Amino acid sequence: MGTQGIRPLVAGNWKMNGSRAMAASLVAEIRTLAAAGPASVDLLVCPPFPYIPEVGGGLAGSAIALGGQDCHMAAAGAHTGDVSAAMLADLGCSHVILGHSERRADHGESSLLVAAKAKAAIDAGLTAIVCVGETEAERDAGKAENIVEKQIIESVPAGANSSNLVIAYEPVWAIGTGRTPSVADVAAMHRHIRSLVADRGPVRVLYGGSVKPANAAELMAVAEVNGALVGGASLKAADFMAIAAGAAVSA
């Protein structure tokens, strides 16, 4: 069973996908399905920056939360192309994904930068979803827990706690590949992460990496898994809500 007392969160990371029209129809569909969906699971959608207002409008009056996929560490200033945490909050976002492995790889983001971004997010009133996870080579070398431990220690800022922090464990080799770790490996890593953030209160620890309707119930039932960060499957409303239903089973 999932961790007692922690309400699951199922978050959709749309990454750099879609169009304005697609975002509008996807959010409308999610909203319709969510009305008949599980009440025991919190839902979050994280569209690309330009579509946040469109999606926010579509979510108005619903319990589904809105989030960004990144923010800058500074509150404002001369940072061409960047977006501040306060701007996300201004658009109605409550969450922001930080330190996703695609940003760590594509933009060379270090854990120390992620911590600075997380601090900025928390200062702006957002919940920071800090992503961690090992590469395949690191797992094969038996270093997965050490790598994730270092990422957590360096990426989680002082002042973060269960009211403003979510951890997402996403093995890099499981993202978009259709491969997932064994249930035993997910359980071991989540137990380790839980021990690392124990002094921050009952922090949600999500699993991400090829979560689909077919494997959601099994993954969400693992001890210490408090929901999912979903990429590809979050672009189909029916799949996203089927994953939420899987998380509800273990809630």
Among 157, 171, 208, 246, binds ligand G3H (CB under 6 A): 208
Radius of gyration of the chain (CA): 17
Q: Which is nearer to ligand G3H, 159 or 176 (CB)?
A: 176
Quick note: the x/- pattern for ligand G3H over 12-51, rule CB under 6 A, is -x--------------------------------------
165-169 and 204-208 strand pairing: parallel
User: How many residues of this chain bind ligand G3H (CB under 6 A)?
Assistant: 14
Q: Is 100 a catalytic residue?
A: yes
Q: Is 142 annotated as a binding residue?
A: no
Q: Under 8 Å CB-to-CB from 199, ≥6 apart: which residues? A: none
Token pair, residue 242, equals: 């089927």
Q: Which is nearer to ligand G3H, 61 or 108 (CB)?
A: 108
Q: Is 81 annotated as a binding residue?
A: no
Query: Which of the ranges 51-59, 75-83, 150-158, 207-215 carries the binding residues for ligand G3H, by CB under 6 A?
Result: 207-215
Q: Is 210 annotated as a binding residue?
A: yes
Catalytic residue among 54, 134, 170, 224: 170
Q: Using CA atoms, how far apart are residues 9 and 114, in angstroms rounded to an integer?
A: 21
Q: What angle do CA 245, 47, 59 make, to 5 degrees?
A: 65
Token pair, residue 36, equals: 């008949």
Element (H, E) at 18: none
Instruction: Check binding of 9 to ligand G3H (CB under 6 A).
Output: no
Lookup result for tokens 């658009």: 91
Bridge partner list, 168 = 131, 206
- The runs of H, that is alpha helices, within 107-224 are 111-123, 136-140, 144-155, 183-196, 213-220
Instruction: Check binding of 231 to ligand G3H (CB under 6 A).
Output: yes
Kindly state the smallest distance separating residue 143's Cβ from ligand G3H, in Å.
21
Instruction: Check binding of 176 to ligand G3H (CB under 6 A).
Output: yes
Kindly state the smallest distance separating residue 17's Cβ from ligand G3H, in Å.
10
Q: What is the binding site for ligand G3H (CB under 6 A)?
A: 13, 100, 170, 175-176, 208-211, 229-233
Residues marked as catalytic: 100, 170
